[in-house]
Amino acid sequence: MSARSENFLLRRYIEKAMVDLPAMPTTVMRVVRAIEGGEASASQIEKIITADAAITSKVLKTVNSPYFGMPRTISSVNQAIQILGLNQLRNVTLSIGVLNALNTTSPRIQALQQQCWEQSFASASAAHRIAVKKGLAKPQQEAVLIGGLLHDIGQLFLLTLFNIPYTEVQTRSKKQCAPLHEVERQVLGTTHANLGASLAERWSFPSDLVEMIRDHDGDTTSETLNPTVACVHLADRIVNRIIEPESAEEIFPLDPKFAEWLAFSDAELTEIVELTMKDMEQAKVAASA
């Protein structure tokens, strides 16, 4: 069988897997829509979440995870809202919904998912810092937090359900020193960014979030620069360069138009990189404690 035929079959399997994925939990979407609408009170959001015991348990587990580094155990949704705020709680709830859809019993895949989420949380922090420094409006600052958190859901999907072929894609990208999205397109017929955007659309995510997911690799022909996409792209590149300092330049190239838009001094960029590294290190230390 030719490589082209193999790629065609793999693409068909991927398409079927996307169709077969469970819908986003109703509670998750109710929380997202209520917070996005801007009219729901904290008590109303608390009622929506606590009416679903499974989601409540996962929210508390996530909030008490090493990444957030809470000084004390958060024992109620009300506490979580007071400490994190509604927009961060929305992000946590959406991430829970994604993991619910990509559930796995494999310890190895679970470890990969955990690693992916840690990197995504770091990207969210970096994207938010960039947005603040660039003077973006508050709604845009909040948008890039969730964009940074969920930009790689396509990669999470592939690592979870197509681990062996996707690992081979990642390996080929490193060996050839070729951009990951180009190798993905050669082997899979699509990219993890496009797959992620398709998933986001299927799950009725907000349109601006779909755009951040789809365009975060800078692999777009759009002539209009979207600042929120730029923040997520740049944050993703910062995290990848921390993780893969020797090969990230080739595997995760920096989009020139986003780099030009950034226009940070070396000192400003160094500060963001150092703070992102600190975020990642604190999460690792807390996880091993």
State pLDDT tens for residues 116-157: 888 888 899 999 999 999 999 988 998 999 999 999 999 999
Whole-angstrom distance, CA of residue 279 vs CA of residue 66: 11
pLDDT of residue 62: 82
Q: What is the pLDDT of residue 84?
A: 85
Distances, alpha carbon 261 to alpha carbons 122, 125, 130, 265, in Å: 21, 19, 11, 12
The pLDDT, as a whole number, for residue 2 is 42
Where in the sequence of the chain do the CATH 1.10.3210.10 domains occur?
A: 105-288
Tell me, yes or no, if the pTM score tops 0.95: no
Q: 194: burial class by Cβ within 10 Å (0-12, 13-18, 19+)?
A: buried
Token pair of 220, please?
Answer: 């777009």
Tokens of 63: 């909030």
pLDDT tens readout for residues 192-242: 999 999 999 999 888 999 999 999 998 777 778 999 999 999 999 999 999
> What confidence tens digit (pLDDT) does each residue in 13-67 have?
999 999 899 889 899 999 988 988 887 899 999 999 999 999 999 889 888 876 6
Look at residue 230 in the predicted model and tell me its pLDDT.
96
Structure tokens at 48: 């929506």
Is the domain covering 105-288 a CATH 3.30.465.10 domain? no
SS (H, E, C) the chain: CCHHHHHHHHHHHHHHHHHHCCCCCHHHHHHHHHHHHCCCCHHHHHHHHHCCHHHHHHHHHHHCCCCCCCCCCCCCHHHHHHHHCHHHHHHHHHHHHHHHHCCCCCHHHHHHHHHHHHHHHHHHHHHHHHHHHCCCCHHHHHHHHHHHHHCCHHHHHHHHHCHHHHHHHHHHHHHHCCCHHHHHHHHHCCCHHHHHHHHHHHCCCCHHHHHHHHHCCCCCCCCCCCHHHHHHHHHHHHHHHHHCCCCHHHHCCCCHHHHHHHCCCHHHHHHHHHHHHHHHHHHHHHHHC
